[in-house]
Amino acid sequence: MRQGNIDTVRHAETELARRASVAYSPEFLWTCTLVTTGEPCAMCSGTIYWANIGRLVYGFEETKLLTLTGDHSENPTMNLPSRTVLGSGQKKVEIYGPFPEIEEELIAPHRDFWRG
């Protein structure tokens, strides 16, 4: 499995949000949904907010990833939920997740990645 992040400051969600914010209008992005397996970190959540993406859907909580990675230098996870970050802004971003019924399926590739 290949990890979706480029490095510790260029995560898949930030890259997508940044590219979308250049290519599309804020009005259009407000009608869009970013879907990701794991809950976006604080940095990614902030980027989603500033890119004006109106909805976030994620499968499992970031705390589940922290359990897998532990004190791994490539994933210095913060315990700052997306709902806290996005709820601190003036725009109301809709958030859907986690989905416990599919959590194990979504976490499986991450488990294998962080073991290797």
- Tell me which of 13, 27, 61, 94 is the catalytic residue: 13
13 annotated active-site: yes
Report the residue count for the chain. 116
Nearest to 12 by CA among 23, 2, 24, 25: 2
Q: Which sign does the torsion angle of CA 7, 78, 15, 96 carry? A: positive
Could you give the CA distance from residue 2 to residue 84 in angstroms, rounded to a whole number? 29
Catalytic annotation, residues: 13
